[in-house]
């Protein structure tokens, strides 16, 4: 072992010994919502996030792109937040927010000054309980997703590389599908199909709520219960179990 390798090993060992330990509390509500609270009063900021266990792997093979589509669609508005008002409400209260989707989950979050913790919890409970899913929202977000596909995949150098790799390394497991899906599947979907997808996956027993930052544990527990405990539990979701043979030789012979 040379001196550089030895120094690197010692450095990594020292970092691991001094790694920050993150203290947290977790509990479940009666409706199945899993809650994780991490208190850190260093700065007056709080992050509220909800992770739903639904990604591209959970989709019907003839209706790909649904999970990513819902990443967009669930910003359209709720029973008590008007269409187009979500982002205005966040920014008007000093916050920022976003979401992303991958093969396994969809993740939404808000970052607010800590005095707006209750607002963030209310907004996420609204998204879970009272989303508005209608034709105008579906049509609007369909065009948004199509433009995203054109920008990031169809008209981008190497944009479709990820799609092609997925198709070649997975034969059976649904990771072979790209997260953004096929536009013809979204075009063919009916409003009832979108409503059914929401009812199945965007439910408390398929979600994890995480609050991190400047707050007090006990009052926050009460707020979580106030806003989330009465949201109805959904049907049990069966986990995907598909056997995939290991890759034992190089994949070649096709041009990407």
Whole-angstrom distance, CA of residue 205 vs CA of residue 53: 9
pLDDT at 5: 47
pLDDT at 38: 98
pLDDT at 254: 58
* 161 Cβ neighbours under 8 A, 6+ residues apart: 256
41, 37, 245: which is closest to 121 by C-alpha? 37
pLDDT band, residue 85 (cuts 50/70/90): very high
Whole-angstrom distance, CA of residue 145 vs CA of residue 151: 10
pLDDT at 19: 61
Q: For 14-42, what is each residue's pLDDT tens digit?
A: 555 556 788 999 999 999 999 999 999 99
Q: What percent of the chain has pLDDT over 70?
A: 91
- Rounded to 5 degrees, φ, ψ at 47 are -115, 125
pLDDT at 6: 45
Whole-angstrom distance, CA of residue 22 vs CA of residue 38: 8
pLDDT over 90 (residue 162):
no
Q: Is the separation of the CB atoms in 208 and 50 below 8 Å?
A: yes
pLDDT over 80 (residue 212):
yes
Q: For 105-151, what is each residue's pLDDT tens digit?
A: 999 999 999 999 999 999 999 999 999 999 999 999 999 999 999 98
pLDDT at 135: 96
Q: Is the separation of the CB atoms in 178 and 69 below 8 Å?
A: no
Beta strands, E only, 192-251: 207-213
Q: Which two tokens stand for residue 47?
A: 């992050």
Q: Is the separation of the CB atoms in 56 and 100 below 8 Å?
A: no
pLDDT over 90 (residue 3):
no
Structural element, H or E, at residue 149: helix 135-149
Domains, the chain: 21-228 (3.30.830.10)
Q: Is the separation of the CB atoms in 60 and 234 below 8 Å?
A: no
SS3 (DSSP) at 107: strand
Cross-strand bridge partners of residue 96: 111
């Amino acid at each position: 072992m040379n001196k550089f390798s030895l120094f690197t090993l010692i450095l990594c060992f020292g970092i691991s010994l001094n790694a920050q330990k993150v203290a947290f509390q977790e509990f479940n509500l009666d409706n199945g919502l899993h809650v994780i609270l991490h208190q850190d009063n260093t700065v007056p900021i709080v992050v509220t996030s909800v992770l739903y266990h639904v990604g591209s792997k959970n989709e019907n093979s003839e209706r790909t792109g649904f999970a990513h589509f819902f990443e967009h669609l669930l910003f359209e508005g709720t029973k008590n937040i008007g269409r187009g008002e979500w982002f205005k409400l966040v920014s008007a209260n000093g916050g920022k927010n976003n979401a992303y989707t991958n093969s396994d989950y969809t993740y939404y979050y808000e970052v607010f000054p800590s005095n707006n913790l209750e607002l963030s919890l209310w907004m996420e409970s609204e998204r879970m309980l009272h989303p508005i899913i209608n034709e105008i929202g579906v049509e609007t977000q369909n065009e948004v997703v199509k433009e995203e596909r054109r920008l990031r995949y169809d008209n981008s150098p190497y944009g479709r590389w990820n799609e092609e790799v997925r198709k070649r390394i997975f034969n059976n497991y649904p990771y072979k599908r790209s997260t953004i899906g096929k536009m013809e599947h979204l075009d063919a979907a009916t409003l009832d199909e979108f409503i059914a997808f929401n009812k199945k996956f965007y439910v408390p027993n398929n979600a994890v709520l995480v609050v991190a930052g400047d707050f007090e544990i006990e009052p926050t527990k009460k707020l979580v219960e106030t806003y989330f405990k009465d949201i109805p539990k959904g049907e049990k979701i069966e986990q995907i179990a598909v056997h995939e043979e290991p890759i034992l030789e190089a994949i070649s012979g096709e041009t990407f």
